Amino acid sequence: MKHLWAPWRINYILLKKEKKERGCIFCRFSKDKKNDEKNFVVFRAEKNFVVLNNYPYNNGHLMVAPYRHIKNLEDMSMEELNEHFLIVRKSVEVLKKVYNPHGFNIGINLGKTAGAGVENHIHTHIVPRWLGDTNFMPVISDTKVIPEALTETYRKLKEAWSKK
């Protein structure tokens, strides 16, 4: 048996083992302003906020969500919608500065069938991508390797965001 040594992943493992709280994760994070670092909330605007994905596809995987608990794109006010996509654009700028990715996957999963993990609170995913960021691990062993701890990613992005 071969072992993949990744001690920085312990924080990810501990997060998964924490008791799951009831309710919407985005609503909890939007109200819990005293724990932005613990919740990995990178940026707050008037109607939306940015949070790191606790289970990222790649380092720097961000999500933009409105404070209001709404399910559908058409339920967003024009103010929420405009600010939301300005923040998506700003997220791309910050990720380019910090990680220099070769591209991005940006999307909204509307409904469980479309892949929404949190299907009743609309949010946009911003996933930085690099040439060669896929390898045999997900195919052969159903394992994704994230090379940087979430706490380090948070620190870098929070610092870069404050300079924007």
Could you write out the DSSP letters of every residue in 48-90? EEEEE-SS-SSTT-EEEEESS----GGGS-HHHHHHHHHHHHH
Question: Tell me, what's the pLDDT at 20?
Answer: 53
| Percentage helix, strand, coil for the chain under 3-state DSSP, each rounded to 5 | 45, 15, 40
Buried b (16+ CB within 10 A) or exposed e, 63-72: bbbbbbebee
Which fold, 23-163?
A: HIT family, subunit A (3.30.428)
pLDDT digits (tens, 9 = 90+) for 118-131: 878 999 999 999 88
Catalytic residues: 123
Specify the DSSP element, H or E, that contains 41: strand 41-44
Beta bridge partners, 64, equal 50, 124
Could you write out the DSSP letters of every residue in 9-35? GHHHHHHHHSPPPSS-HHHHHHH-GGG
CA angle, residues 63, 69, 72, in degrees to nearest 5: 80
User: Taking the domains of the chain in order of start, what are their residue ranges?
Assistant: 23-163
Question: Tell me, what's the pLDDT at 93?
Answer: 97
Between strands 48-52 and 41-44, the pairing is antiparallel
Question: Tell me, what's the pLDDT at 105?
Answer: 92
For residue 16 the two structure tokens come to: 């998964």
Question: Tell me, what's the pLDDT at 162?
Answer: 84
Q: What is the mean pLDDT of each run of 10 residues along the chain (164 residues)?
A: 60 55 85 94 97 87 96 95 97 96 92 78 93 59 66 92 78
Provide the whole-model pTM.
0.81
User: How does the average pLDDT of the chain come out, rounded?
Assistant: 84
